[in-house]
Structure 1
């Protein structure tokens, strides 16, 4: 059962990260087109309308999309200064403490992002140029944040399982 959950959570983390990467590539292409359009205004071209708005919203999604995979592969920044002095069991306990802290942070971030999205939706706030409702950008970022919560909670169980006698 654990292996199937591990596989599913790993798939989720990779899928969301790949979606974030696809959005990032699309943003790079859009920015290149927009800059080229600005440079070639004398030739009749023009920049992409609302490029900064699209870039802000797309980057918010991409950043949140990479968090689950980073957590799943233990890619977050670590200070390994005392790692050798704690031994194998001590390091597993530290991993558990870090995973619990990250799960707590992920839950708080997703909760506050959810409330922010509801707030933006209630005021019908839109972007200046494209008139896109801002809550939609929050909702897109919330996809990554929700996956981050799922992966972070799984990582807590993974760390518990790695402890001696931790047959969770």
Structure 2
């Protein structure tokens, strides 16, 4: 059962990370095209910068960052201060991992909840970006996908830490 849950969690985290990478690649291409268009605008050949590239980059970066959070957490790649970890007993380290993973689950849940409320607010007021007039709620919705995945992965990591504390294999 645990192995199956790990496989599902890894699939979710990996898929979100790959989607985030795809978003970054699209942003890179759009930015290069926009820069090229800005460079050749003086030649009057019908090319120019992409209108609203800053808006698209801002929304895409936010969505990509949220998409990467589940993978980083599953791989235990978040920044941590482990100055005293080598001198502490293993059971204490495992307990601290459980405590910190539980804290990360709380942070993920509260952050996702607030992101959802922000999306609802932007949707109800019809706010848009300044240049491209992209509805802001769409950026929140794109980020919400990664945030929900982050909750799922964080919950799994609490389970994994609990199993480690109990001496069960990964």
Q: Does 1:9 align with 2:9?
A: yes
Where do 4+ consecutive residues of structure 1 move more than 3 Å? none
Q: TM-score, normalised by structure 2?
A: 0.94
What is the rounded CA distance, in whole Å, between the counterparts of 2:145 and 2:100 in structure 1?
23
CA RMSD of aligned residues (A): 1.3
What is the rounded CA distance, in whole Å, between the counterparts of 2:68 and 2:140 in structure 1?
16
1:66 counterpart residue number: 68
2:123 counterpart residue number: 121
Cα deviation 1:47-70 (Å, max 9, x = unaligned):
011100100110010000000000
2:96 counterpart residue number: 94
Shift of residue 74, structure 1, vs aligned partner:
0.2
What is the rounded CA distance, in whole Å, between the counterparts of 1:122 and 1:67 in structure 2?
28
Number of equivalences? 167
**Mind listing any 5+ residue stretches in structure 1 that lack a counterpart?**
none
**Mind listing any 5+ residue stretches in structure 2 that lack a counterpart?**
none
| Aligned pairs for 1:18-29 within 5 A | 18-29=18-29
> For 2:89, what is the secondary structure of its paired residue?
helix
Shift of residue 129, structure 1, vs aligned partner:
2.6
Q: TM-score, normalised by structure 1?
A: 0.95
What is the rounded CA distance, in whole Å, between the counterparts of 1:164 and 1:148 in structure 2?
24
Indicate the larger mover: 34-43 or 11-20. Answer: 34-43
> For 1:81, what is the secondary structure of its paired residue?
coil
Shift of residue 94, structure 1, vs aligned partner:
1.3
2:148 counterpart residue number: 146
Shift of residue 128, structure 1, vs aligned partner:
2.4
What is the rounded CA distance, in whole Å, between the counterparts of 1:166 and 1:85 in structure 2?
23
Cα deviation 1:2-34 (Å, max 9, x = unaligned):
110011001100000000000001101111111
Indicate the larger mover: 80-89 or 49-58. Answer: 80-89
2:159 counterpart residue number: 157
Q: Does 1:107 align with 2:78?
A: no
Q: CA contact under 8 A between 1:89 and 1:164: conserved in structure 2?
A: no
